[in-house]
Amino acid sequence: MRFFGSDQSYHQSFSSISAGRASESLNRLQTVPSQEFGAAAQWAATWNEITAVAGMDVRDVRATNVETQYANGTPGTVTDITARQRASGGYAELLWQHAPWSAALSGRVDDFRTFDAKKHVGGTLTNLARTDEVVFNPRLGVVRKLGYGVSLSGSVFRAFRGPTLNELYRNSQVGQQLTLPNDSLRSERATGFEFGAQKDMRAGTVRGSYFWTEVNRPVSALLLNSTPTSQTLRRENLGQIRSRGVSVDFVTQPASFLQLSGGYQLAIATVTRFQPDPSLVGNWIPEVARHAATLQLRAEHRRIGVLNLQGRESGRLYDNSANSAVLHGFFRMDVEAERTFARRWDLAVTVQNLLDRRIEAGRTPTLTLATPRVVTVSLRLHRSR
The 10s digit of each residue's pLDDT in 178-233 is 899 999 999 999 999 999 999 999 889 999 999 999 999 999 888 888 887 788 98
* Chain centroid, CA 202 distance in Å: 35
The 10s digit of each residue's pLDDT in 10-41 is 999 988 777 777 888 888 899 999 999 999 99
pLDDT in the model for residue 176: 77
Let me know the angle formed at the C-alpha of 208 by 207 and 209, rounded to the nearest 5 degrees.
130
DSSP-derived pairing of the beta strands 231-237 and 177-180: parallel
> Per residue in 355-366, is it b (16+ CB within 10 Å) or e — as a string?
eeeebbebbbbb
* Chain centroid, CA 87 distance in Å: 19
Residues (pLDDT < 70) of the chain are 385
pLDDT in the model for residue 385: 62
pLDDT in the model for residue 373: 96
Which of 215, 213, 240, 175 is closest to 24 using CA atoms? 175
DSSP SS3 for 278: helix
In angstroms, rounded to a whole number, what is the distance separating the alpha carbons of residues 4 and 38? Answer: 5
Contact 207, 249 (CB under 8 A): yes
CATH fold of 2-237, please?
Maltoporin; Chain A (2.40.170)
Please report, for the chain, the start and end positions of each structural domain, with discontinuous segments joined by +: 2-237
